Chains A and B, each alone.
Chain A
C-alpha cells in the first residue's frame, strides 16, 4: 500500500480546469518533486493534498485513511512556503515552538525540542533573534524547523528555494535532501526549476496544463522523456521535423536516421526526431557508424565549461542541430565557425515523438 494515494483528482475554477483527472501514488519516505511551468497545476495539487484548496472531485488517501474532505487541521503534514511565512513578531524559538505550545508540551520539553530542531537545521544560536534579523536562507531553515517540529509524516515544500539567491539555493538543496534522508519523512516539493528537481528528487512528476506528463526517476525523465513536452521542458533538446518511413527509421530532409523501433506510431506519420546536444558524437567515428551526417559549424556560443555549437547539415541547409562540445574537443579538433565536421547521432540516444 502506498503512503499517499491520489485518485482521479479534479480541480476547476469556474470554467478553468486547473487539475484534470490526476492519479498518483507516493511511497513512504519518498522525495517527490512536482515539476512544471507556472500555471501547470503543481501548486494546486500540493494545496489540495494539504487541504488548503480542496479539490472539486476525487479522493486522497494518506496512510490508508481517506482525507479527501478533511480540513487542513485534520490532516498530518508540515508545510514550508516560498515566502517562508514566518511570524515576524515572534522570535525564532517561538516560531519553531509554535505548534508545540498548543499540544500542551511542558515548557522545558518545548525548549529542548526547539534547540534540537535549530541544531538540526544548522542555526543553534538563532533562537532569540527575530526573523527580520536573519538572511533569506536562514529564514527558510527556520521555516523548515517549524514545519518539522510536530514530527509530521508528510512534509510539503512549496517552491521553498525560489526566493533565494543562486549560491544559497545550491547549498540548501543539499541540506534539505540530506535532512530528508536522515529523517525519512515523505516529502513533496513543488518547483519550476528542473535542475532542482533532478538533483533532489527520488521521483519527479512532470506536469503540464493540469495533467501529469510523466512520472519517473530523474534518470528516466532525462534519458527517456515520455512526451515531447517533457523532452523540451527538462534539459535542452534538438527537435528535427521528419517522417516515420519504417518502424525504426525516420527521414529528415532527405536523410534517413536509424532509431529504436517505434511501436505506437503509424508509418508515414509526421514525427519529431529528438537528441540532446551532449549526445551528438564527433570523435572516433568509424566508417560504418550509424546516422553519420556531414555538417558545417554555423555558430559557436561560449557557455563556460562547454560551448554550444549550431551545426548546419550540408545537404539540407534549413536543418540545424545544436551540440555541446567540451573545451578540449574544440581545441583538439580546431572547431570554429565555418569548419566542416562529420557527426553521428547514436540511435540509442534518439527519441521519436508524434507531432
Chain B
C-alpha cells in the first residue's frame, strides 16, 4: 500500500467562485445588519455619557439602583405568569384543533390567528375600554387595569396564536399506530394521554414556553400602553434612551433584556435539535373520530376562547368608531381622520405600507438567495458557518435591543453608512434583520426538501447553477418564497419595538404613530389606527390564502399527478 500522495486541492469552476463570493457578500451584509450593531450596543454599555471606557461601572450602577433592578423582576414575574396561563390554554386549544372533531374547525383556527395581525398595543387599548378608568367593567378586577393585570391579560391575547401555532404543529404529527397499539394493550385514556400524547408534544411544549416567555419579556407596546407605573425592562430601555438620553444605561438595560431572550433561544434550539425523526415516513396519520362528550367539551372551550379573542379585537374596533367615550356612544368615522391628532395624518399608514412592501421584497430576496447560496455552495464551510450563525442570531435578539444597536452603529459619526440614518432604508434593513431567522429557516427547509442532486445534474450538463436557480429551484420554492414575503409584510406592519428608535418625522410608521397618539390621550384614534393595521395585514394574509388556493395551483400544474 502506497503512502497517500499529497492532499489535493479541488479546482473551482466559475460558478463555484461566484457562489463563494456571494456567500462572502452575504456574511458581510449580515455582519452589518446584525453583528456590528449588537457589537456597538455591547461596547456602549462599557462607556460613560461622554464615550470614555468605564468598565463595568454602568452595570454596577444598574444592579444597585432598585428602581431599575425592580423592573427586571417585574418583567420576569409577568412573563412567568403569562407563560403559565397561555401554554396550557394554547395546548388545549391546539389539542381540540388537531385531535377532536370540531364543527367549523377552520373558523376556530382562523380566529386563533387574529392577534398576529395586530400591533401589540391593540389589546392594551381594548383593555382600557373594558376596564380603564372610564371602562365598561371598571373596578371589576378589584383594582386598576394599569399595571400587572393589564399587561398579563393583553399579553395572553398577544402570545396565544404563537403558542397555538407551535402546539398545533407538534400535535398534528401523530402516529395512529401508537394509539392503536395502546388501545390494543388496554391502556386507559388517561394513561394514553400521559404516555403517548404528551411525550410526543413535549418538545412543542418546551418550544411554546420559551417563545411565550421571550415575547412577553421583550414586548414593548403593551407595557407602554397599559403598564402604568409597573415598570418592565422594555419600557426602561425606552425611558433611558428617549426620556433621559442616557444611551449607556439604555445599552445596559438592553443587555439585561437580551440575556433571558438569548437563553430561551438557546434552550429552544437544543430542544429542536432533539426533535428529529419523531415521525417516520411509515407513520400512519391520526385522523380524529367523533366522540360526543369530548367534542362537545372542546367545542365549548374553543368557543369561549374564540369569543375572548374576538371581544378584545371587537372592543378595539368599536372603541375606534365611538364619538366620545364614554359620554356619547354614537358611531362615527371621525377617529379615522388622523390629521386631527397627528400632523402626518394618514401619511404614517402609507409609510408603513411602503416599509412593509420594501421589507418583504428586500428581505425575501436576501433570505431566499442567501439560504440557497449557503445550502448549495460547495466547500467554504467556515464562511457558511458564519452566515448560519449570523442568520440565527436575530431570533435571540429582542427588537428593542436590535433597534438600539442600530442607533449606536449607524449613527456613529465615523460610519460611512450613517447616511442611512433616519431614512426609510434603515427601517427596511432593520425589519429584514429583525425577522431574518424565520425567513432564513423557511427558505432553508424548502430548499432541503428538493432533490440535492439538481446542481450535480446541472454541472454534468454544463448548465450554470444560476440558470438552474432561476428555472428550477426558485420556481419550486415559490410557495415558501411567498410565505416569507407575507410573514415579513405582516410583521413590518405590526412591529413597534425595533423601529421606535429609528424613525424620523418623514418616515414615521403607523404602529409608532398609534403609540404616540395614545400617549397624547387620543385612545379612539390610536385604536382606529390599530384597526387599520389589523385590516391591512389580515387582508394581505387572506389574499395570500385565496391566491394560494386558486392561482398558485394553476401556476404549479406540475405538482398534479
Contact = CB atoms under 8 A, between A and B. Distances in A.
A73 B15 contact: yes
Contact of B460 (A69, A79, A90): A79
A8 interface: yes
Interface centre among A10, A52, A89, A156 (most CB of B within 10 A): A89
Contacts of A50: 456, 460
Contacts of A51: 10, 459
B274 interface: no
A79 B476 CA distance: 22
A86 to B, nearest CB: 8
Given A83-B453, A89-B558, A133-B561, A57 B11 contact: no
Interface stretch (A95-103, A250-258, A340-348): A95-103
Contact of A98 (B6, B463, B476): B463
Interface stretch (B48-56, B194-202, B464-472): B464-472
A77 B556 CA distance: 31
Interface in B1-44: 1-2, 4-13, 15-16
A89 B450 CA distance: 11
A178 interface: no
B457 interface: yes
A146 B558 contact: no
Interface string A114-135: 0000000000000000111100
A243 to B, nearest CB: 29
Contacts of A58: 4-5, 8
Contacts of B6: 57
Given A50-B460, A77-B460, A89 B475 contact: yes
A90 B472 contact: yes
Contacts of B558: 88-90, 130-132
A73 B456 CA distance: 9
A87 B4 contact: no
Interface string A1-42: 000000010100000000011000000000000000000000
A87 B472 contact: yes
B454 interface: yes
Interface in A236-290: none
Contact of B16 (A52, A71, A133): A71
A57 B7 contact: yes
A122 B463 CA distance: 26
A57 B559 contact: no
B460 A57 contact: no
Nearest to B467: A102
B453 A146 contact: no
A186 to B, nearest CB: 15
B560 interface: yes
B462 interface: yes
Contacts of B451: 81, 83-85
A54 interface: yes
Contacts of A88: 476, 558-559
B461 interface: yes
A102 B461 contact: yes
B557 interface: yes
Contact of A73 (B9, B462, B476, B561): B462
A327 interface: no
B460 A71 contact: no
Given A57-B7, A72-B456, A89 B13 contact: no
B474 to A, nearest CB: 10
Given A71-B13, A71-B16, A79 B5 contact: no
B460 A78 contact: yes
Given A56-B4, A58-B5, A74-B13, A103 B453 contact: no
A89 B462 contact: no
Given A81-B453, A90-B472, A69 B9 contact: yes
A51 B1 CA distance: 24
A322 interface: no
A87 B2 contact: no
A55 interface: yes
Nearest to A70: B11
Contacts of A10: 4-5
Contacts of A83: 451, 453
A101 B463 CA distance: 9
Interface in B493-552: none
Nearest to B12: A71
Nearest to A52: B456
B472 A89 contact: yes
Contacts of B15: 71, 73
Contacts of A54: 8, 10
A69 B11 contact: yes
Contacts of A59: 5
Contacts of A57: 4-8
A127 B185 CA distance: 54
A156 B461 CA distance: 13
Interface string A129-154: 01111000000000000110110100
Nearest to B451: A85
Nearest to B16: A71
Contacts of A149: 461
A320 interface: no
Contacts of B464: 102
A59 B471 CA distance: 35
Contacts of A89: 472, 475-476, 556, 558
Contacts of A152: 460
Contacts of A191: none
B457 A85 contact: yes
A68 interface: yes
B469 to A, nearest CB: 12
A74 B462 CA distance: 8
Nearest to A100: B461
A186 B334 CA distance: 81
B30 to A, nearest CB: 27
A130 B8 contact: no
Given A8-B2, A85-B453, A102-B461, A73 B8 contact: no
A74 B1 contact: no
A81 B4 CA distance: 30
Contacts of A84: 451
Nearest to A156: B460
A202 to B, nearest CB: 23
Contact of A146 (B7, B461, B476): B461
Contacts of B462: 73, 99, 102-103, 150
A90 B471 CA distance: 8
Contacts of A132: 558-561
Interface in B199-241: none
A178 to B, nearest CB: 23
A51 to B, nearest CB: 8
Interface centre among B5, B15, B453, B460 (most CB of A within 10 A): B460
Nearest to A81: B453
A149 B460 CA distance: 11
B472 A71 contact: no
Contacts of A74: 11, 13
Given A69-B9, A146-B461, 5 more contacts: A8-B2, A57-B5, A90-B472, A90-B558, A147-B460
16 contacts: A8-B4, A10-B4, A56-B8, A69-B8, A70-B11, A71-B459, A72-B456, A74-B13, A77-B460, A99-B460, A101-B463, A102-B461, A102-B462, A132-B561, A150-B462, A152-B460
Interface of B: 1-2, 4-13, 15-16, 451, 453-454, 456-464, 467, 471-472, 475-476, 556-561
Interface of A: 8, 10, 20-21, 50-52, 54-59, 68-74, 77-79, 81, 83-85, 87-90, 98-99, 101-103, 130-133, 146-147, 149-150, 152, 156
